Chain A
């Protein structure tokens, strides 16, 4: 099973979304929030393109990699699910290491909040990533979709209507 960084991100938000997403049942295209994020990604840091590079290896696609300072930059719209963003970035660093690029640092960037957040990869994290990968593999290769779990974030999720629409009889 091919795992990418999106899976790592979603894994830390919602297991049900992970299963659906991995099975190509997706709703991101219906979401204004996702679209907003795409625009933020495209329009932030316009001067960067010459100095930074967008890199793709082994199922990951890094927003910007600063080769000189060895820093991976990841742009996000809001820091509501910061923990998931951190793991996504840590996974990038992990994959870089697997390919022999070591001592890489990470920065989460929230341009609309005018905030940044440095991220480092520790030994504990490396072990945790291995666990996460194994767990993701288990979830997405299962026939069963994980059950519905109501969370605070559900209402702003692009899967909300899919998960919560039902007929309530009188």
Chain B
């Protein structure tokens, strides 16, 4: 008579016990995660609507920060520069890392060596990298310009010392640093494409280009999507590379959004205003990620 109630009670007890055990596993990490990540992300949306300097507390000012942002020329410069960086860094890195992955997916001697080497820039400290490249790029005596002169470029750019060439210089270094990382992700994706598909395409007489279009690209769709999302976020948040390479200069030619947050927040102690800029950065990353997900879903449907 009481079996159903018994089972239910027993099941309830199992769930309660599992919940307790489950949480006990999560807790050490979860506590830190909530306090150090979730809470600050939440606070961000409060601070953005306040006026706040180091002394005194936060005063609610509503949309005032955002109104000020709309009139802030430096903010628009930073936004434009961020888009500039993303617009070149994303396709360039996609192309180079996919190219390398295709090359390294072949049977060539030295492939294993190069897979390791391609990682060196990624595991190297950004301070050392920036310093090396700044010296390589130096206008008068730098090896880069010397090579350029040697191949017949009469007036090589000043790179990090010229307003026009500083962003391209940063983009080159950014791509150089991250291509090995994305190459590996592409390589892992390539491995999931069944060899039989290539065999079938070969039997049908498909050319290398046709095989790439009909087999490789569709087979890499998920990988490419995933990499594009990662790469987009990485481009929008670029900061350390720029801080140590150009510090936003010359002028404001390499000032990016996250550096503007850094300046307002940590150099001028305007926490509220810096948070408003942060909300913009957050929103851009969020919207771009969601759009990419929706487009990807629609395409695979």
Same complex: no
User: Interface of A with B (CB < 8 Å)?
Assistant: none
